[in-house]
Structure 1
């Protein structure tokens, strides 16, 4: 391979761009810097890397703000993680970054910079303007500095793009050894942004850089998908929340599901939920939780049929009419419609004996409360696994029947049944509950 055939590219910063102010013609400023004597002239296939700060300034995204936190609040759509005063949030542009991208550096004291309203549109405007001003067809990347999960330090990422292939999908190809590439999608626009940052710097007054030699990443027709395509959707984001935020959201998402799809339930997910359940507090250092997992349709049918027969017998003994009995029995259909059932039980091994009924009743209640705490952990963990659930009390009314059908020891007390599966429909909006309505302070 000759030297001319060795893959490579060149990157350089554009000097001469003055301090940008609201209303400045950014295309004019860049074009003047790019055509300065002694610099390579922009050419078709080049990629222009533009720091978002000068785009924000030109577009008037400078905010008089003595309270940066208030500005962050206004730009925040969703809090991802919070540690003290540091917030990682999703902003109105869909980006997840510290402080919503609100920046108090490189701007006048008493002001903050917001990110461009639509960074992709900003990139398209710069590209079109340079095509008109200089007659060149270049790609444009608008970049901003961001941290990354699992990695120390900051780097520039693409928040806006035009005329650039932002993602290079290599899936379906093979590597040098013939192995199939099944998950490789390269974030090309982010790599370009990071390359430009190496020559722009953070405090050198060089907000624009040019990359040459990578013409294959420039879209020959149209502006491409834009950097918005780099934002991972919620359905494929495995790390959408920080730890404490994930716990709070799982608690919030824990809703009673009344209708399930036929999608099978991963037994491993249920066992992970059981592992969370048995971390609940319990009296006397005991472990009173047991979970009977009904993974076969035959086991579920046998239990539910026996419980239905026992329920009907009880209702007849109460003098209920056939119509009333049929209506009540239909309420149990939520269990029959679920592809997976769990029967949580409490085993009061280790309970203390007391000579009087008062303390004996309190001792039993301690174990029942511990059972409820374990079940709550279980339901919240299922929500974290993206599984819906419904905790139904029916097994508590026919414990002998449940023990007989499932072959459980006499001292196992079934604490209802939990239907598990994928929700067939989105839950209805639930009115917010104010914590103060449930608090008494003394």
Structure 2
């Protein structure tokens, strides 16, 4: 595809206030024809060279006038309630500011609910289906003019990591919204592997430079990029919207932490896919930020990465369980087998982590009650560290199961892993890629667990 060396972007005046039910295509065609007559013979940005609409033109239309024509005006003294009604999922919240996913699948501030350029006491909602709106407007302009044009409906977005707003495409018809450069060669002969250009967004931003926010010019025409215009309507902007699985920034900071905590589930079935040891080490780095008594660091994490070590450990633990269940608990073979099977999750997992408690920083109290409380403080710190570990591993896309089994044969574990005598194994964490999605967790009301005094 040959890159054009120039094109024009023209915003034209004369678009009247739009009311519900207006024939937007007719209104725009009339305003554009009038503007073209008035500027006939002027070149470049001043006019459209006397041709009021040509094959290959691209119309960039502000969503507000589409919403008004479609009657998406709501009487709402409380804008927040209107935002609630349009919100599917809260992505991030800071005070009253909310970034949300709206009914159209767009992630944006306030669900696109706008209180500007609309009478007091009302708000504007985005078009119900911006792609359908673009298709209808394109069809109507084609009927009125006989021209093959593209239509892009735009709205204003903020952007992560960048200050300032820009217009982007929220609906499109008759245009390839993305330009996939992957597989092409750059000027040095290097194959491009990642580059996919958001053509529709680039057009929206360019048009906003001439439309402005308060100039009364809600529509711009791009001329000179006819190679972007397609015969059919195309899929609209849907190809531009990342799926949840592809979106690495699906949540804000506090929301991501909350989602990681509430979304973490015990996983007992794993695939054979290997576990990235670097991901586990990142989780350990998060684990050791947990609070602990007396400014100590009472945690050690044994990463059982080698298959032969894991097998030797689990075989030794199995023998110890069988012996203790028989000799200490007096259980029969069937009950022993049932109890031992609970440890199968450790054998089936491709990776194990054995968290150990080290209480060398504990105070030495002669009173047994105070000594017991001192140890409990360290055990609580161990639980906090393991929770950090589990949540961080969940954020890495890994499943976990924290099993208490090593606590019933601590000497055996220390011997199998060649651990110091003061390292106290506090269970074992099975780590792996989940074999199936976890079932939905039923919400829990905090009031059931709270007493207020």
What's the TM-score bracket when you normalise by the shorter of the two chains?
Answer: over 0.9
Q: Give the Å deviation of 1:194.
A: 0.5
Report the equivalent of 1:293. 303
Report the equivalent of 2:33. 35
Report the equivalent of 2:382. 371
1: CA distance between counterparts of 2:391 and 2:175?
43
2: CA distance between counterparts of 1:409 and 1:222?
72
1: CA distance between counterparts of 2:241 and 2:409?
51
SS at structure 2 position matched to 1:63: strand
Q: Does 1:251 align with 2:249?
A: no
Report the equivalent of 2:399. 388
Report the equivalent of 1:23. 21
2:344 to 317, 329, 333: 333
2:276 to 259, 266, 274: 266
1: CA distance between counterparts of 2:59 and 2:306?
60
- Give 1:269-280 correspondences, 5 Å limit: 269-280=279-290
Q: Could you tell me whether the CA contact under 8 Å between 2:288 and 2:297 is conserved in 1?
A: yes
2:412 to 385, 393, 401: 401
2:245 to 231, 235, 244: 235
Report the equivalent of 1:310. 320
Q: How many residues align?
A: 437
1: CA distance between counterparts of 2:7 and 2:274?
50
1: CA distance between counterparts of 2:357 and 2:104?
49
The CA deviation string for residues 110-147 of structure 1, in whole angstroms up to 9 with x for no partner, is 00011111100100111111111110111110000011
2: CA distance between counterparts of 1:298 and 1:310?
18
Report the equivalent of 1:90. 101
2: CA distance between counterparts of 1:81 and 1:430?
21
The CA deviation string for residues 360-400 of structure 1, in whole angstroms up to 9 with x for no partner, is 00011111110001001111111111111110000111110
TM-score by length of 2: 0.95
The CA deviation string for residues 12-40 of structure 1, in whole angstroms up to 9 with x for no partner, is 01221100111111111111112222353
2: CA distance between counterparts of 1:120 and 1:337?
48
Q: Could you tell me whether the CA contact under 8 Å between 2:4 and 2:225 is conserved in 1?
A: no
Report the equivalent of 1:417. 428
Aligned Cα root-mean-square deviation (Å): 1.1
Change (3 A) 1:162 1:388: same
Q: Does 1:76 align with 2:87?
A: yes
Q: Give the Å deviation of 1:268.
A: 1.1
Q: Give the Å deviation of 1:243.
A: 0.9
Report the equivalent of 2:370. 359
Q: Give the Å deviation of 1:7.
A: 0.7
Structure 1 unaligned blocks of 5 or more: none
Deviates more, 1:330-339 or 1:18-27: 330-339
Change (3 A) 1:6 1:232: closer
Q: Give the Å deviation of 1:6.
A: 6.5
The CA deviation string for residues 52-99 of structure 1, in whole angstroms up to 9 with x for no partner, is 000111111111000001111111111111111111111111111111
SS at structure 1 position matched to 2:38: coil
2: CA distance between counterparts of 1:178 and 1:6?
21
- Give 1:141-156 correspondences, 5 Å limit: 141-156=152-167
SS at structure 2 position matched to 1:268: helix
Q: Give the Å deviation of 1:212.
A: 0.5
Report the equivalent of 2:43. none
- Give 1:121-160 correspondences, 5 Å limit: 121-160=132-171
Q: Give the Å deviation of 1:229.
A: 1.3
Deviates more, 1:232-241 or 1:272-281: 232-241
SS at structure 2 position matched to 1:50: strand
- Give 1:100-179 correspondences, 5 Å limit: 100-179=111-190
Moved over 2 A (4+): none
2: CA distance between counterparts of 1:313 and 1:247?
43
Q: Give the Å deviation of 1:429.
A: 2.1
The CA deviation string for residues 330-370 of structure 1, in whole angstroms up to 9 with x for no partner, is 22111112111100111001110011100000011111110
1: CA distance between counterparts of 2:233 and 2:4?
29
1: CA distance between counterparts of 2:272 and 2:118?
56
Q: Could you tell me whether the CA contact under 8 Å between 2:91 and 2:98 is conserved in 1?
A: yes
Q: Does 1:346 align with 2:344?
A: no
Q: Could you tell me whether the CA contact under 8 Å between 2:291 and 2:381 is conserved in 1?
A: yes
Structure 2 unaligned blocks of 5 or more: 40-47
Deviates more, 1:29-38 or 1:161-170: 29-38
Q: Give the Å deviation of 1:433.
A: 1.1
